[in-house]
Chains A and B, each alone.
Chain A
């Protein structure tokens, strides 16, 4: 089974569990506070995932170290490419 199939199966499982508890057939009724917390759960998980993504992006942005040698090497490559293109007649 592909990864997509696995994810869809997992989602279908969790979704049906949530729907079963949320629709509250007489046999499965939860006490009132639990039901109130359960109903917005999909939106809550989505918002929580968004917060996690934002925090990860921010953290990696803040802790990304400069790479001095890579920068110098890149500048060398740029000037070499420029000289080469100029030699071949490209004007810029």
Chain B
């Protein structure tokens, strides 16, 4: 059996991705087929954000990965040889 922390984190990730998938599917695929005066539209942002938010999140991810790589490469550079 995996440790309790592992199980909590693992199943938490599964639940989070399930919620995210259902919400995003409703937003992108189901909402266009529902009349604009139905109450469900209150729970969703305007459709432009359905594209802007993932794109911005992706760019931020790439930015953080790039910064991490820069920091690691900076720290592991060898010091220049000193002359005696």
Contact = CB atoms under 8 A, between A and B. Distances in A.
B29 A44 contact: yes
Nearest to A48: B21
A62 B55 CA distance: 29
A43 interface: yes
A16 interface: no
B65 interface: no
Given A44-B24, A48-B21, A66-B1, A58 B12 contact: yes
Interface footprint category on A: 20 to 34
A51 B26 CA distance: 15
Interface footprint category on B: 20 to 34
A55 B6 CA distance: 14
Chain A interface secondary structure, helix, strand, loop or mixed? helix
Given A51-B21, A58-B17, A64-B2, A43 B10 contact: no
B32 A62 contact: no
Nearest to A55: B17
16 contacts: A34-B32, A36-B47, A40-B28, A41-B28, A43-B55, A46-B58, A48-B21, A48-B25, A51-B18, A54-B17, A58-B12, A59-B13, A61-B6, A61-B9, A61-B13, A62-B7
Interface of B: 1-2, 6-7, 9-14, 16-18, 20-21, 24-25, 28-29, 32-33, 47, 50-51, 54-55, 58
